[in-house]
Structure 1
Amino acid sequence: MRPKTPDAPADSRAFDNLKEAVPRFFEHVQRTEPVGSAPHLLRVISGDADFVLREWDSKATAERVNLTARALRLAGPATAERLPVPRPVSGEDETWAIRTGDRMVSAASWLPGRPLARYGDFRTPDGDVIDVPLPASAPAETIVLEAVRTIGRFHTATAPLAQSMRPAASPLTRLLRESQATWTAQRRDVGERAASSPEIRRWLRCGNRILPVATEYLEQSGATGVGTAIIHGDIWPANLLIEGRGDTRTLTGVVGWSRVTVGSPLIDIAHIAIHTTGWSGALAESILGAYTEVANLSPMERRLLPIVAALDLVPRVGWLLNLAFVDDSMIGHESQPVLRSGLKSLLMSLENLTQILAPESEWNQRKTIEQRQTRIDSATKRSAGKGTTRARPPGSTRSRPGSRPGKRKTG
């Protein structure tokens, strides 16, 4: 990637922090250079090897950085040098990061290759990375399947570490709660523009069907057959490095390990299935097949993959819709063409998953049953609220008043 001189204030701050951290990790440095359009990275050439310094986001804690380092060191030997190898602070073998300013900085080996992503690394004015899938015209199934195997080997190698860390809630329960909370907020903010945006209306229809169905699926499955793993947590084409051209392309590395956490392996698998080329049943089966070559997956986990993919897509599509149609700071932004192309792909994936999990005919039937039950419940409550009906006088058989005496019906 072509070096770029930092020009924005945030870029300059990150660049200064990274330069300040260099001597803490390396005694002898030949040179340093920025990495493309990623202001949080700095390439360092020291001795006969290349390394990369990373400035973590402001929410990153020492615990997360240390977990990432431990996981990558465990998995390194099993992944054919396709993962970055963490480098400790000089003279401190078990210290994996330092704090410079208000951010953590860590070091790791440099991996060769270029990102699989066709487009550049676009960021919002707030600095958030805008990741999108590959266009449909750029198939990369061979690379995708090799990435799945690499991630599967990572999950297997780090299984002892995952078992030693027990999350407070089931990873899929946590995913459901996060998706529901984000959906609620996005539906309020983005939904206001639904009248003028067919894309937003399509997203609302999907979310309204997916969330209830996903809740039922996960409640029925419980925790049976669903495991935990140390997961990457943010796999996109930009995180997959390749070399070669056309049919000779090979995977050289998986990068972007800034959201490592304890979660369900299905999250990483779903990310590869929907973040790379978009959801398709055939690709999903190929991905599951490649994963189970190197790692275990229960029958229940296989069945839950579409649910996990849909729960990931609902808030992601909502965020992109906000950038495309609501956020005034994004008007005229250079990323808009790429953003909208990626949005189109992800929205189509969400609609495909919605049709699989909540087909329109079944959904309409379900809504009819729910409406009928609501009317029955309402009538039952009204009846209960009237109390006991007063008895009629003896001999009275009329259920309603008749015509007044002496009055004749006319007409």
Structure 2
Amino acid sequence: MFKKAAVLVLVLFQVLAFTGPALAKPPGISALAGVLMDAGSGQIYYSKKGDVRREPASLTKIMTAILAIENGNLEELVTVSPRAASVSVGQDIGLKSGDSLTLENLVKAALIYSANDSTVAIAEHIGGTEQEFIRMMNAKAVLLGAYSTRFANTNGYHHPNHYTTARDLAVITRYALGNKKFAELVGTPETTILWADGRKKEIRNTNRLLKNGSYQGLYGVKTGTTLRAGDCLVAAAARDGRNLIAVVLHCGNRYNDAVKLLDYGFDHFNRVTLCRFSEKLAGRRVEGGVLPEVALVAGNTAEVYLPGEDVAKVKREIKFDGPVRAPVRRGQRLGEVVYSFDGKELARVELVSAVDVKKPGPFGRLYDALDF
């Protein structure tokens, strides 16, 4: 069965049954597009036209801000250019040409108050020009796997070549929340913008869900509104060690939509252990070894959250690498197991040898003498 094959792939399908409460029907939302993602694993719990291109409005500023935080010195002073000061469409903090503020104050204005003028000042400071910064935004989107995203500006104004998807926004937000400073700022209900000359402006977060703890565990992220994009929101919340990200675009009521998705994720998905570290999952024939077969065990533990259906069908696909020939080292990769649910991959785990398998006779003694 294993004659001289360079690589053998054996596929096994196993249905794993889990019992639990009946799965609640996915929530109806007013949003034209939406996604609910587990921030820990990247698993998508819910999608409504999640891969359809839409305008992001000021959700664009999530990318603007994370690039500023990663590529700039937040304590450095930024001098506002005439171009940045001329931005007057939508919300702004009233920047004037020649104003001087720290980069951190400009990022605060962009993320918390959604100030459009601050994003241009940020872009020019980090990229040299706004166009160079936009190039950086698009390059970062590709790097993160947000392949259906293209930015044409830093703040979300309408432009025919400025678009994204609910899924891509969840991907970008998941990445951005991994930065402590970003997470701190998007969870700030109110703060003060300071100019170098002593001027101040009190601002409040545009995200109403942050007000007075109106949603348990909520810690951000960003609102966005234009006539074409409609009311948009990315909301993130944590409970019992879990972090969820809800993205809703062009909504009738963005706050209700986000709460519905977050509640759905927290209330109707149960943790399932797909496999445990060192658990035996398969066996392989060994050619030329002192043992005829070696046990394959999981290289790590894989846990995911799944809807609590009476019968949740998870497919387990075991893929073997090429023929196994002695000597074999304990822990040597010999394949992988891929778990999927509803046609989407949940986890991928390496299968490794549970034991050493030596060659017989003097070859086995030589193997023992080698330092692996």
TM-score by length of 2: 0.25
Structure (1/2) with the larger strand percentage: 2
More helix by share: 1
**What is the TM-score with the length of structure 1 in the denominator?**
0.23
Q: Point out the structure with max Rg over C-alpha.
A: 1
